[in-house]
Amino acid sequence: MSQNARAVDERSARNDELNVDRQLSVESARQRDSVTNVGPLGTRTGQSDLVFFQGVLPEINGDIVGTRPIEEQVRMCLDRLELMLRNRNTTLADVVKLEVQLTNPNAAAVVDQVYESRFDDVEFPPRTVVGVCSLPGGADVQLDVIAAAE
Residues 93-132 pLDDT 10s = 999 999 999 999 999 999 999 999 998 888 889 999 999 9
| pLDDT of residue 70 exceeding 90 | yes
Predicted model pTM: 0.69
Q: Read off the pLDDT of residues 51-65 as tens digits, 9 standing for 90 and up.
A: 999 999 999 988 999
Number of Cβ atoms within 10 Å of the Cβ of 71: 14
Mean pLDDT of 38-60: 74
138 is in which domain, residue-wise? 3-148
Q: 87: domain CATH number?
A: 3.30.1330.40
The total domain count for the chain is 1
